[in-house]
Amino acid sequence: MAHHKSAKKRIRTNERKRKVNQLILSKVKTLVKKVYSAENKEQAEVLMKEAVSAIDKSVSKGKIHRNTAARKKSAITRFVNEFAAGK
């Protein structure tokens, strides 16, 4: 357990940051899952746009590495483009 005032503050700030990071990453995962569970191509395209926006936002805030984001965006774009053939 921390004894110094600054160490106690660091514990509080780290916990707040952890929750914010968790929220952002969870939102990205949820939006990506929604793209994969879309009913038709038009709906998938709308959801993809929303997911890509959230992914880009998380990269700009430093929550996701840019290569990870590129991989996620590439995968959902490929899925949407091949939607008619797959389903």
What is the residue extent of each domain of the chain? 5-86
Q: What is the CATH number of domain 5-86?
A: 1.20.58.110
Tokens of 15: 């916990």
- pTM for the predicted model, two decimal places: 0.85
**pLDDT, the chain, mean:** 94
- Neighbouring CB atoms inside 10 A of 44's CB total 22
Percentage of residues in the chain having pLDDT higher than 90: 92
Per-residue confidence in pLDDT tens, the chain, 87 aa: 889 999 999 999 999 999 999 999 999 999 999 999 999 999 999 999 999 999 999 999 999 999 999 999 999 999 999 986 765
Q: If 0-12 CB within 10 Å is exposed, 13-18 middle and 19+ buried, where does residue 24 land? A: middle
Q: What is the model's pLDDT at position 87?
A: 56
DSSP designation for 87: -
CA dihedral sign of residues 61, 27, 43, 79: positive
Closest CA to 44 of 86, 71, 79: 79
Q: If 0-12 CB within 10 Å is exposed, 13-18 middle and 19+ buried, where does residue 73 land? A: middle
Residues 25-43: tens digit of each pLDDT: 999 999 999 999 999 999 9
